[in-house]
Chains A and B, each alone.
Chain A
Amino acid sequence: MIRRQRRILVNRIILGLSGAAATLGLVMLTWILGDVALRGLQAVNWTFFTELPTPPGMEGGGLANAIVGTLLMTVAATCMSVPFGVLAGTWLSEFGRDSKLGGVIRYFSDIMVSAPSIVIGVFVYVVMVRPMGHFSGWAGAVSLAIIMLPVVSRTTEEMLKLVPHELREAALALGAPYWKIMPQVIYKAAAAGMATGIMLAVARVAGETAPLLFTAMNSPYWMESMNEPMANLTVALFNYAMSPYDDWQTKAWGAAFLITMAVLFATILTRLILHKRSSH
């Protein structure tokens, strides 16, 4: 009986510890989000969205150019990485499923998903920024696209694999060629899942700072084209948070608030879509 009591006691202790660990996670989430929301909301007002940054030390102004810059670069990166990633994912799922080459490509893309993003920034600096002679929005967009690419291709592959084989066979039996089946049948069947993957990739790069530090850099002005240093929220956040001015630090919290909300919104949305799909 004593032995049994001891087993139950040990069980309770472990249960308690692991519950405490999970509670700690929940507490941290509320703490961080609470701080970001409380301090961020103080900075977010009309001028924050509509005006340019002020010179160092001057109060007022906003981060309108950085908001637009982040949006532009994210859209450009999405336009570059999505076709590339979807086609690569198509090969992995449809033609290279059990091949050795497929295994190798899968292995390297999985590594690239978690590769340090600052190294991607160094790479783009070496191949784009230095030959061109200046920092540019395009260089920033390219480094974001490189980070998105493996995420898009791997999720595309997974989603295409979920489409039942019978669907392909039925279409083939009708005499349709494969290159017509893919867009008209398979992509359609996997559309929601593929969109989720793309959104996950966007959420991933929307908060990226490291690869932008020496590709897009930052700028206090409105951009005239993507071919010049470009303001963006994350690098502005970094510079402002490290600055000695209270007003700038408040603005950094505002930027953190915007980015966090956008990323969390995208994450929750993807979860809802996936959940709805799996409950069908």
Chain B
Amino acid sequence: MKTAHNKKWGDVIFRGITLAFALGILALFAAIVGNLWHESLPSIHKFGFSFLTSDAWNPVKDDFGAYIAIVGTLVSTLLAMLIAVPISIGVALFLAELAPEWMKAPFGTAIELLAAIPSIVYGMWRLFVLAPLMSDHVQPWLAEHFGFLPFFTGPAMGIGMLTAGLVLALMILPFIASVTRDVFLMVPQNLKEAAYGMGCTTWEVVRDIMIPYGKKGIAGAVFLGMGRALGETMAITFVIGNAYHLSWSLFAPGTSIASALANEFTEADSDIYLSSLVELGLVLFLITFIVLGIAQLWLKRGNQGGGR
């Protein structure tokens, strides 16, 4: 009787302890949001909603607004997505369906290794290898041929939005590609075989069977990559130029929320300056929360089959 009693209580305690730690993850999440909110209060009280729409960033006069940093974050992410999404879907198709069997393993490993390289290494490589290449060759070429567009004007310094977008694209490309490949691999073999049996070419199977079947999952992968790009710090901080003004030109230096935090956080000398930076962090956290939340919903639904 006694041992049975002990056994029961042992299990209850075990279950309670594991539950406490599982809830600890939720508590941690709440603590992050709560503390950031509390710390932003001075800035929220002082600037109110106009914090989001003001383009001021003046540490001397203690006047701060997030507009430029938010736009910088969104523009660099958008650029990155425009470049990365088509290429990474191509890579995923190649890895999942088109490549000959003997090529799948080495290419797949290469893509996964690319995804594992720390972002600071990407950032540094861009600064020393790619930025000179951009300023000497790519940007002058763009300016010469597309200079009538406002995006490609101004001095070619090699740093700035375009370079930042390219770094981000290169960083999230392997990430989106490997998740998309997994989505494609989940398409049932018999569906594909039925289509091949009717005489479809590989591309027709991809277009009419695999992409419709996995579209939710693909969208999830894209949003996951976008979440990464939004919050990426080190790869951008090196090359974005860190300047607080808006310009139509993609050659011009700009700033993003993450790079502003990385550059200025330890230099903040007044309470309101620090509070404004924390509020920037909170804004970034909320934006990525929404994007990643959508990604998780779609990936989950994609996994549950059907994909319709």
Indicate which residue in B21, B94, B278 contacts A126 across the interface (CB closer than 8 Å): B278
Cα distance, A24 to B25, chains bound together (Å): 39
Per-residue B-contact encoding for A29-51, CB less than 8 Å = 1, 0 else: 10010011000000000000000
Q: Is the CB of A22 within 8 A of B21?
A: no
A173 on interface, CB distance cutoff 8 Å? no
- Check B24 for interface membership: any CB of A closer than 8 A: yes
B194 close to chain A: CB less than 8 A: no
Query: Interface code A215-249, partner B: CB below 8 Å = 1, 0 otherwise?
Result: 00100000000000000001001100110000001
Q: Does B129 contact A (CB under 8 A)?
A: yes
B94 touches A18 (CB 8 A): yes
| B243 interfacial contact with A, CB 8 Å | no
Q: Which one of A87, A104, A122, A242 has the greatest number of beta carbons of chain B within 10 Å?
A: A122
Asked if A18 and B98 make an inter-chain contact with CB atoms under 8 angstroms apart, the answer reads yes
Q: Which residues of B contact A10 (CB under 8 A)?
A: 201, 203
* Complex contacts, A237 vs chain B, CB 8 Å: 120, 124
Q: Among the interface residues B35, B90, B111, B266, which one has the most CB atoms of the partner chain A within 10 A?
A: B90
How many angstroms from the CA of A179 to the CA of B122 in the assembled complex?
45
Instruction: Tell me whether A138 is interfacial, beta carbon within 8 Å.
Output: no
Chain A residues positioned under 8 Å from B262 (CB to CB): 118, 210, 213
Q: List, in ascending order, chain B residues with CB within 8 A of A123's CB.
A: 31-32, 35-36
Tell me if B118 counts as interface (CB < 8 A to partner A).
yes
List, in ascending order, chain A residues with CB within 8 A of B22's CB.
87-88, 91-92, 96, 102, 105, 153
Whether A111 pairs with B201 at a CB distance below 8 angstroms is no
The minimal Cβ–Cβ distance linking A2 to chain B, given in whole angstroms, is: 15
B90 and A111 form a contact (CB under 8 A): no
Q: Give the residue of A18, A95, A116 whose beta carbon is less than 8 angstroms from that of B93.
A: A18
Instruction: Give 1 or 0 for each of B252-283: 1 = CB within 8 Å of chain A CB.
Output: 00000010011001100000000001100110
Q: Indicate which residue in A22, A107, A253, A263 contacts B116 across the interface (CB closer than 8 Å).
A: A263
The B-contacting residues of A in range 130-187, CB under 8 angstroms, are 146, 149-150, 153, 177-180, 182
A238 proximity list for chain B (CB < 8 A)? 120, 234, 237
Query: In the complex the two chains form, what is the Cα distance from A115 to B227 in whole Å?
Result: 8
A10-B203, A118-B281 known; A22+B119 contact, CB < 8 A: no
Complex Cα gap A253–B11 (Å): 53
Contacts of B6 in A (CB 8 A): 177
Task: Give 1 or 0 for each of B106-140: 1 = CB within 8 Å of chain A CB.
Answer: 01011111101111111011011100000000000
Knowing A210-B234, A263-B118, say if A105 contacts B201 (CB, 8 Å).
Answer: no
> Hey, what's the 0/1 contact readout for B80-100 against A, CB within 8 Å counting as 1?
000000011011011100110
* Cα distance A116–B119 in the bound complex, in angstroms: 12
User: Residues of B contacting A8 with CB < 8 Å?
Assistant: 201
- Give complex CA distance A178, B18 in Å: 12
- Cα A87 to Cα B14 in complex, Å, equals 10
User: Which of B10, B11, B87, B98 interacts with A19 by CB under 8 Å?
Assistant: B98
CA distance A107 to B297 in the complex (A): 9
Q: Which of B60-68, B144-152, B170-178 contacts A (4 or more CB under 8 A)?
A: B170-178
Chain A: number of interface residues, binned into ranges: 35 or more
- Measured between beta carbons, the chain B residues less than 8 angstroms from A153 are 22, 25
CB distance from B233 to the nearest CB of A (A): 4
Contact partner, B26, options A25, A105, A119, A122, Cβ 8 Å? A105
B43 adjacent to chain A (CB < 8 Å):
no
Alpha-carbon distance between A108 and B36 when the two chains are bound, in angstroms: 17
Nearest-CB distance from B69 to chain A (Å)? Answer: 13
- Asked if A59 lies at the interface with its beta carbon under 8 angstroms from chain B, I say no
| A67 interfacial contact with B, CB 8 Å | no
Residue B42 lies at the interface, judged by CB distance under 8 Å to chain A: no
Q: Do A35 and B288 touch across chains, with their CB atoms under 8 A apart?
A: no
Known: A15-B98, A208-B118. A271 touches B109 (CB 8 A): yes
29 contacts between A and B (CB under 8 A): A7-B201, A8-B201, A10-B201, A11-B203, A22-B107, A22-B111, A29-B111, A32-B125, A36-B125, A84-B21, A88-B22, A96-B22, A108-B25, A111-B29, A118-B258, A118-B261, A118-B281, A122-B265, A123-B36, A126-B278, A179-B10, A182-B14, A213-B262, A214-B265, A237-B124, A241-B124, A241-B128, A263-B116, A267-B116
**Residues on A facing B (Cβ under 8 Å):** 7-8, 10-11, 14-15, 17-22, 24-26, 28-29, 32, 35-36, 84, 87-88, 90-92, 94-96, 102, 104-105, 107-112, 114-123, 125-127, 146, 149-150, 153, 177-180, 182, 203, 206-210, 213-214, 217, 234, 237-238, 241-242, 249, 252-253, 256, 259-260, 263-264, 267-268, 271
